[in-house]
Amino acid sequence: MGTSSARKAPVGKFWRTAKTAASRFASGKEASPPQVQEVVARYLTALKADADDNDENFLPLLAGVAASLGNFYHHWEQNGWGAALERLRLNPAEAWNREDIIPALLDRLVGPGNKLAEAVARAALIDHLEPVLSVYEKFPPTQTFSDLSPINKISHFLGLALGRKLLSDLGESLEFHAPSLSLANQRQEELRAHILARIQALEPVGATDVSFTFDQAGAVLDQILTLVGQPR
């Protein structure tokens, strides 16, 4: 069950520990293999420890995308769809449909995806935007899209992004050591579901009339990293 070299996690003490935990979790051969939360916690420890040493640092990029996404939702909520597009330098008068607007939003909110961190963020943003925009039969949307604040929406996006990044970094260990492809896929889904389930434990926040900043996004990300890394 080979994987591309792009999916290999960085090296270092914490990464070795995370990959070992993932391998033992995937194999299921031990009487007491690592649990889902242990694998996720060790991975997040490695990801945070890597923050100052990696030129393509994922966490600051993720916070920046979350801030941009939060501001997009804020302006859509407060000023309408057209104003939100204008702030991203997109023409609200264009005949947008869901198939065209999502790639355009990805380019504005993340970037072209030339780096692995951007590619992961773009994939997570697709996963996030598809259900958000699928409720609208036509564009531009005229109704209010939600009574929840951008914080709730970016928390969902951050969970999807962390799940995708974990599988990108630990996917090789999971696939190589699982006794079958179906079990490897099951283990991957368990890890992803654990992250999203933990994020659902965050208290919902009501609608807000303030813009979203990078520092706020970073604070939400830090809260999620702490929460997800804790045992249930």
pLDDT digits (tens, 9 = 90+) for 87-146: 999 998 888 888 899 999 999 999 998 888 999 999 999 999 998 888 777 777 765 555
The pLDDT, as a whole number, for residue 232 is: 57
- CA–CA distance, 20 with 167 (Å, rounded to integer): 14
Q: E-strand spans in the chain?
A: none
The pLDDT, as a whole number, for residue 2 is: 39
> How many C-beta atoms lie closer than 10 Å to residue 178's C-beta?
22
The pLDDT, as a whole number, for residue 3 is: 41
Residue 172 Cα distances to 5, 91, 118, 193, 213, angstroms:
9, 42, 20, 19, 35
Burial classification of residue 224, based on how many CB atoms lie within 10 Å of its CB (0-12 exposed, 13-18 middle, 19 or more buried):
buried
- Which DSSP string corresponds to 58-106? HHHHHHHHHHHHHHHHHHHHHH-HHHHHHHTT--TTS---HHHHHHHHH
Phi, psi for residue 206 in degrees, rounded to 5: -70, 175
Instruction: Note whether 171 and 2 are within 8 A (CB).
Output: no
pLDDT tens profile 140-165: 776 555 554 566 788 889 999 999 99
Of 26-35, 40-49, 69-78, 103-112, the range with the lowest mean pLDDT is: 26-35
pLDDT tens profile 173-209: 999 988 898 989 999 999 999 999 888 877 655 555 5
